[in-house]
Amino acid sequence: MLSTTPIPTTARWYGREFGDYYFYDGGPESGWDTKIENYVDDDVKQKTIEKSKAIDYTLSIIGAVLNIIHFIILSRKDLRINVIFIIMIGICISDLLSFFANIAETRYGNSYARGFLGGFCGTSRQYWETWIEFVAKEIQLFGRLHSAVLALIMAMIRTLSVMFPMSRWIEKMTKPIFGILAVLVSAVICFVRYLLHFLSFEVENSTGIVNGCVNAWAKYDGLPAHLEGTTTVVLTGLYVVTTVALIMALRIVKKRRKNLKTDK
């Protein structure tokens, strides 16, 4: 840090001291004004993280309870014969997996730091908690992706059934068996994607010391690192396009019905 006068011995630079001169556009380092650590104290950051985790944990419990109620309603016999409700059951199950996995990750997550502070580094407890944390993360990713895919399929069925009501192919898509196949096939595809990542995962002693904390990492994902975000963007874009098409199709149908009533 360059200055013409001594500055307080702090871990970070939180502001300009009177009489100080700094290079780098008035700051102690290049790009200082874009780094949040120059403005936010560690205590504030830690408290924010803890509160966010507490809120996330509470919302996961609420979401799990609501999804259980939703699942019970959807599992009624008169609803299970509709392709849309079958797909909604699949979405509900995936959401439940994500919520329960998030609860497990909150409970057993960050095992490296907890093991170091709690004195159980390198023990079987820390080893298995590390695995639980990773599996919970993978289940959440699987559940979210599967839910997004099923939501897109459901929107496409609704849109196509409105646009082409007399099509035989659309008639086949509205049968219960199609909903079951859509849920199962998409689940297998999503499962295989995250299985590849799971198989490359290892839990090892990263310190090289007996009873040292074990750490976890994936040696090779087998897929580009940005694929997760790209997939999310593509699915979101397709869902928006499908929804807009559905709204337009419904308006056209409504206009046609209105014209038919006028002709009569």
For the chain, the domains span 1-37, 41-228
CB burial string 153-184: b at 16+ within 10 A, e below:
bbbbbbbbbbbeeeeeeeeebbeeebbbebbe
CA distance 259 to 7: 79
pLDDT digits (tens, 9 = 90+) for 220-254: 555 555 677 788 889 889 999 999 998 998 888 88
Place of tokens 């099509």: 167
Query: What separation in angstroms does the CA of 92 have from each of 16, 33, 64, 148?
Result: 53, 44, 9, 11
Q: Give the side-chain half-sphere CA count within 13 A for 124.
A: 0
Nearest CA to 86 among 66, 78, 62, 159?
78
Classify 220 as helix, strand or coil. coil
Top-level CATH class of 41-228? mainly alpha
The pLDDT score that the predictor gives to residue 41 is 63
pLDDT digits (tens, 9 = 90+) for 245-255: 989 988 888 88
pLDDT digits (tens, 9 = 90+) for 85-144: 999 999 999 999 999 999 998 888 887 778 777 777 777 888 888 888 888 988 998 999
